[in-house]
Amino acid sequence: MLKKIKKFLILIVIIIILLLILKIFKFENIILKKMYPIDYSEFVYKYSEQYNVDPLLIFSLIKAESNFNETVISSSKAMGLMQLMDSTAQQVAKNINIEYNNDTTLYNPEDNIQIGIKYLSELMEYYNQNYILALAAYNAGIGNVNNWINKGIINEDGSNAENIPFKETNNYVRKILNYYKIYQKLYIEG
């Protein structure tokens, strides 16, 4: 009888520990979802579907670029959520019939997200849906990425992206890929 009680108590303790672990895990997910939000999701999902780009990749890019601050301007004058350069944004906006105003368009979350997703989708198409190379080009430009491929610095499949010679671009791609894994874990697996 004493052995049965002991086994029962051990089982109860194990159950309590498991429940605590589950509670902590859910709490951890709540905290992580605050750190890795899906703000502006109505626009991200709409245009990700329209331009065939994974929305979780877009959230990862926005987190890395602006941390969801729609009014941020970089030292290189990239603007808004997806940190678009004015000249690039004007060309993309023209191609998708968005009326472009230099003073306001890139600070409008919907316009910025639509233009940014369309631009990334064009880069992905150019690089045969390889989002690693597309991200590198989003940051450093197609010319630089093509040059690195032509010189054998990085592979055409992006499998050795750790060799990207621009430190900023190398860190940028790594950061987004890390965020992308977190977003997938939180919003697909979690």
Count of CB atoms situated within 10 Å of the CB of 86: 14
Count Cβ neighbours within 10 Å for each residue of 49-81 and write b for 16 or more, e otherwise.
eebebebbbbbbbbbbbbebebeeeeeeebbbb
Is there a catalytic annotation at residue 65? yes
Angle at 51 between CA 50 and CA 55, to 5 degrees: 85
Question: Which residue of the set 65, 70, 110, 168 is catalytic?
Answer: 65
> What is the set of active-site residues?
65
